[in-house]
Amino acid sequence: MEIERGADIVSSKTKKVIIKEELVELTGDFKLAIVLNQMIYWSERKEDAEVFIKEEMARLQKYSDDVKNIEELSVNILESSGWIYKKAEDLSVETMINVKPKAMREYLKVLVANGWLDERRNPKLKMDRTLQYRVNILKIQLDLYNLGYSLEGYPLPVVFSEKENTYFLKDNTISEKENSKGVKENRKVEKESGKGEKERAIPEITSETTTEITSDNFEEEKESQPEDNPFNFYEQNGFGTIGSHISQKIMHWCGDLNTELVLKAMEIAVERGAKSFAYVESILRNWADKNIYSVQQADAFIQKYKEQQTKQRTSGNNRKHVRTEKIPEWFGNTQNIEAAMSIEEEKVLLLDLQEEIKNLRS
């Protein structure tokens, strides 16, 4: 490109992504840290940002004043400020992570599950099924405090460890109670009459234009409803405590295949008494190799092998050769799985053990 002498050189704006050490330590994954930081960035740039910051600073102050009333400390799902609607595709592009929309939605689910983001449906328009998010500064700041870090711009007054033991960590975490309250209030909103249906939904935030919420957005967000969560399923069905390494693997497979197939593979592992993620991965790899991308295809695949086994048993005495495909390793006997643990699974367990030791030391 030739530039004429004396011509003005205009530089175009480029995207910038900030990776904060404290958020990487908090989330255990730099991609999660980038997404969380991006949500904080937008929270501080919304039209109601000033009110949002005041609300969060007030919550921080109440906590430092030893307020133990959960209602006073929790986020008001219906009336609080700072709620954001962002499309998964846009988040992927602006963070330059460039993952599929489903993978980005899994990142958001992890942030919600840990209490760093709150989640709700639009309280003003019951037909609006899109998800809105709000950064939970109090939860982020307290978790960072326990790791020896702090979130810049939101000072947390000195909090005694005694309070952490008696209040914040009691009955799991305050965020779980906040999320439970939010679910109830979201249901309440959905049951209300059509009052205010003509009001506009909270607009999606973009760097240049405001995108109107359409029926396509509704369908997209409908897929992301957190009713069946592989992270919860993992811990609730005896696989063990989920660490950041396993979380990353789950997010990878949810993005590569889909959440429903990951849950299906976990269900098979539970039914066959093989509660290890290495076993789950062997199922998912096999499905990926055979281009299986839905639960229906997986069920048909399993049924096919069951029918082949039945044919082999019934025609065994006739010595007629029945052509069958090779049965995948995960479909066979699982009684001695623990004794025959793969090298990959040992690595996974070692990484989780190292993570637990790190948490104990901190």
- pLDDT over 50 at 199, yes or no: no
Task: State pTM to two decimals.
Answer: 0.43
Structural contact between residues 278 and 325, judged by C-beta atoms closer than 8 angstroms: no
**pLDDT tens-digit profile of 103-144?**
888 999 999 998 899 888 776 666 667 788 888 888 888 888
pLDDT of residue 209: 34
pLDDT of residue 32: 92
pLDDT of residue 337: 46
- pLDDT over 80 at 167, yes or no: no
pLDDT of residue 48: 56
- pLDDT over 50 at 213, yes or no: no
**pLDDT tens-digit profile of 318-334?**
555 555 555 565 555 44
**pLDDT tens-digit profile of 295-320?**
888 888 888 877 777 777 676 655 55
From CA 269, how far away is CA 360, in angstroms rounded? 30
CA angle (245 as vertex; 147, 327 as ends), nearest 5: 165
Residue 264 backbone phi and psi in degrees, to 5: -60, -45
List the chain domain ranges: 21-223, 230-361
**pLDDT tens-digit profile of 266-278?**
998 888 888 888 8
- pLDDT over 50 at 79, yes or no: yes
**Residues 295-325: b if buried by 16+ CB within 10 A, e if exposed:** eeebeebeeeeeeeeeeeeeeeeeeeeeeee
- pLDDT over 70 at 150, yes or no: yes
From CA 22, how far away is CA 144, in angstroms rounded? 7
**In terms of DSSP H, where are the helices of the chain?**
21-27, 30-43, 49-64, 70-73, 88-94, 101-113, 137-146, 161-163, 174-191, 215-223, 230-236, 244-256, 259-271, 277-289, 295-314, 343-361
From CA 182, how far away is CA 136, in angstroms rounded? 13
- pLDDT over 60 at 190, yes or no: no
pLDDT of residue 198: 39
Task: Provide the mean pLDDT of the chain.
Answer: 68
**pLDDT tens-digit profile of 18-49?**
888 999 999 999 999 999 998 888 877 766 55
